[in-house]
Structure 1
């Protein structure tokens, strides 16, 4: 019997077990992506020379997260657009 839920039927236990594993996997992807976004924003705010690399890393992780279904593709696109706009503003100054 699965210890992850109070489900009685075996298929329900299996579904719960799968969702717990999926949640853990998605959480890892979500955390690394959010961390990269925060680092990119900090680099942009500080005007660092490596802000370009940080933004591109964050964009790449957003693409991967959207492909895996962790973020909706429109959410990933919106966040990438905002990072790109901030990078363009910094480069124009």
Structure 2
């Protein structure tokens, strides 16, 4: 967290405390109450950041489809006529058979 973010959280926490001063029950110290408000503001910001995080396409995991049953059948059907033709190599991009 940078100092600008810390300043924003502090400002928002004090604003919330001021807006809710009538709800302070004095069962705990004012410091404890302010710390709790500040903690809640921080956690709320972190939760909202996680909701809006994005990832680059390079970070995305693409499923391995080389052994996909549908592709295997298509490859087999494609290779069948080729295997009957002499001198033509079979098309085999993956290792599945």
TM interval, shorter chain, is: 0.3 to 0.5
Structure 2-normalised TM-score? Answer: 0.35
Which of the two has higher C-alpha Rg? 2
Instruction: Decide which structure has greater helix share.
Output: 1
